[in-house]
Chains A and B, each alone.
Chain A
Amino acid sequence: MSEDGLRWVYAVARTFDEHAVKDVRGVAGAPARAVETAHLVAVVSDVDSAEFGSDQLRSNFEDLDWVATVARAHDEIVHAIARNTAVIPFRLGTVYTDDERVREVLAERASEFNAALDFVTGRIEWGVKIYVRPDAIASPAGGRTESTKDGAGTAYLMRRRAQLTARETATQDAAREAEAAHAHLTSIAAAVHTYPAREWSPGAQAEILNAAYLVDESRTEEFRGAVAELRDGCHAAGLDLTGPWPPYSFTAPASAAAP
């Protein structure tokens, strides 16, 4: 354990099973280990200040490839721990100078961490993204027969209007379907968090909703079944399911602003 090194924090849990992360490479390829207090553990890696010190961290975060690599490693460790025990994952970029400081944070915020752990225990996060189906937009419901008296310009405008109407209709239908789907899934979940829907760009899906649902483990099949049914029942909206995730989206009670 280097005295000059820093501590990257992955998550807080009640217990740490070193076998769970034995073969998992963490951030900067470092292994994960525990910093323990009486009832809580922080899962950390020893990392180098050359890469993770204040200035370096800031500029590394401007590099998408660096962030992607670190994000995946961070998530690998969090996922590995989450298999055996409830975890409260940390956001990327929480670095402390030494174990003592980590222990202080665990002690200072013990009741918040315990409350957050209680909340996610026995629950799984799922992600559902709802978008306007491209095939719903692309097939305008049959144009009216073009009159042979109309010129090419008029015929074009009529076709264009039919296309725009079909797109608007599909979008409105999809929005209605999305609202109903979200309400149904929310009724099964213990908690819900919505992320900003992705801004539309050419070639991308027209995203309506990007939501995370925290679901009791005992209701996993019910939730997944509901997503499948909703997907089949929607004509204009498409549903993508992601997960299971560790409860990244439901850790707010444990967070604290800078003093």
Chain B
Amino acid sequence: MALIDLLDRVLGGGVVIAGEITLAIEDVDLVHVSLRAVIGSAGTLRRLADG
């Protein structure tokens, strides 16, 4: 399973309800955007596949 497809779903999808310690919606959206940019690099993909 490609990590980027999983992260799209678990960071960009799923129920969002403010919990007591839930990350703020904007924070997770930002994480999602920056992770998508990072994951795009072939080096990262290789490293994560090996790790």
Contact = CB atoms under 8 A, between A and B. Distances in A.
A95 B13 contact: no
Interface stretch (A14-22, A170-178, A184-192, A248-256): A248-256
B10 to A, nearest CB: 5
B15 A95 contact: no
Contacts of A201: 40-41
Interface stretch (A29-37, A57-65, A155-163, A220-228): A57-65
A93 B6 contact: no
Interface string B28-47: 10010001111111101000
Q: How large is the interface on B (under 10, 10 to 19, 20 to 34, 35 or more residues)?
A: 35 or more
B40 A248 contact: no
Contacts, number: 132
Nearest to B12: A195
A116 B13 CA distance: 13
A203 interface: yes
A62 B17 contact: no
A94 interface: yes
A48 to B, nearest CB: 12
Given A96-B19, A257-B18, A198 B40 contact: yes
Contacts of A54: 21
- A interface secondary structure, majority: mixed
Nearest to B40: A201
B23 A258 contact: no
Nearest to B16: A255
A39 interface: no
B10 A248 contact: yes
Contact of B13 (A53, A62, A129, A249): A249
Given A61-B27, A64-B44, A68-B48, A6 B21 contact: yes
B6 A72 contact: yes
Contacts of B5: 127, 129, 242
A109 interface: yes
Interface string A57-79: 11001101101100110110000
A96 B37 contact: no
A97 B18 CA distance: 12
A256 B35 CA distance: 24
B37 to A, nearest CB: 7
Interface in A230-259: 242, 245, 248-251, 254-259
A257 B40 contact: no
Given A201-B40, A245-B9, A248-B10, A93 B18 contact: no
10 residue pairs, one from A and one from B, having the closest CB atoms: A91-B14, A258-B18, A248-B13, A248-B9, A95-B21, A93-B23, A255-B16, A249-B13, A254-B15, A251-B15
19 contacts: A9-B19, A57-B23, A61-B23, A61-B27, A64-B48, A65-B51, A71-B11, A72-B6, A75-B9, A91-B14, A95-B19, A97-B20, A97-B21, A101-B20, A109-B17, A195-B8, A199-B36, A199-B40, A258-B24
